[in-house]
Amino acid sequence: MKHLITIKDHRADDGAALVEFAIVLSLLVMLVFGIVEFGRAYNAQITLTHATREGVRVLAITQDSDAARAATVGAATTLDPTKLSISTTDCSPGYPTQVVASYPFFLSIPLVGERTLTLSSTAVMRCGG
């Protein structure tokens, strides 16, 4: 009985491996960029939340809406102040007042495209007298 040894041609598998690598690489790049963009959006949201807290604190102490807007813009150091939208309510001693801020955030993820999210934050504090 003779043993036949067959030699398989491995060059036929190289093309399939290259196609699989391209599919996996594109998904991996999309996932990595998605994680990075989510991190940027989360950082912008935290900055916006901090800025509205600073603004409402100034509003509650000084009862000055312009000073509250300036404090909000000043605390949002990493955000573009021209795109920041800020509104305040009246401040009567003993009653709550609020500062509402919104900011358009642009996401760009390869293979998904570009999206615009509107980040917003509201801070409420009781006015001093």
Residues 98-108: tens digit of each pLDDT: 999 999 999 98
Answer whether residue 84 shows pLDDT above 80. yes
Question: Model confidence at 26, in pLDDT bands (50, 70, 90)?
Answer: confident
Alpha-carbon span 3 to 33, nearest angstrom: 54
Alpha-carbon span 36 to 46, nearest angstrom: 15
**Phi and psi, residue 87, nearest 5°:** -135, 150
Query: Of 127, 121, 68, which is closest to residue 97 (Cα–Cα)?
Result: 127
| pLDDT given for residue 122 in this prediction | 97
Segment 103-125 mean pLDDT? 92
Residues 36-71: tens digit of each pLDDT: 999 999 999 999 999 999 999 999 999 999 999 999
Joined tokens for residue 28: 């991996």
DSSP annotation of 93: T
- Asked if residues 47 and 77 have their Cβ atoms less than 8 Å apart, the reply is yes
Query: Of 108, 109, 105, which is closest to residue 118 (Cα–Cα)?
Result: 105
Alpha-carbon span 101 to 35, nearest angstrom: 25
Answer whether residue 30 shows pLDDT above 80. yes
| pLDDT given for residue 119 in this prediction | 97
pTM over 0.95: no
